[in-house]
């Protein structure tokens, strides 16, 4: 992006923010921030629990398959 257009874009963005900012109510903004934090924490916890659950499930499935293949090898010998 050429440098000569940078000030135009910065001015446009600043003007848009200055025009929209007064329309926000402080209570609504605080509520939105709190809800976003709660949503992020819940999302993180659910993904962490799913990761642990799936890891245990995959590990047990792999071990079962390995034990079956070892028992077949022992029977063949």
pLDDT tens-place string over residues 25-70: 888 889 999 999 999 999 999 999 999 988 888 777 777 766 666 5
Count: domains in the chain: 1
Q: Is residue 29 part of a domain?
A: yes
- DSSP code of residue 46: H
Rounded-to-integer distance, Cα 38 and Cα 68, Å: 45
Q: Is residue 18 part of a domain?
A: no
Structure tokens at 73: 């090898």
Q: Is residue 53 part of a domain?
A: yes
Average pLDDT over residues 6-34: 88
Structure tokens at 2: 């050429």
pLDDT at 74: 60
Q: Is residue 15 part of a domain?
A: no
Q: Taking the chain, what is the end-to-end CA distance rounded to the nearest angstrom?
A: 72
Q: Is residue 1 part of a domain?
A: no
Q: Is residue 76 part of a domain?
A: yes
Give the structural domain span for 64: 25-77
Q: Is residue 66 part of a domain?
A: yes
């Amino acid at each position: 992006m050429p440098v000569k257009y940078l000030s135009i874009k910065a001015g446009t963005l600043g003007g848009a923010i200055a025009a929209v900012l007064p329309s926000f109510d402080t209570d609504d903004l605080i509520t939105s921030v709190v809800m976003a934090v709660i949503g992020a924490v819940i999302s993180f916890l659910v993904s962490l629990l799913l990761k642990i659950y799936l890891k245990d499930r995959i590990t047990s499935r792999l071990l079962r398959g390995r034990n079956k293949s070892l028992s077949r090898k022992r029977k063949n010998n």
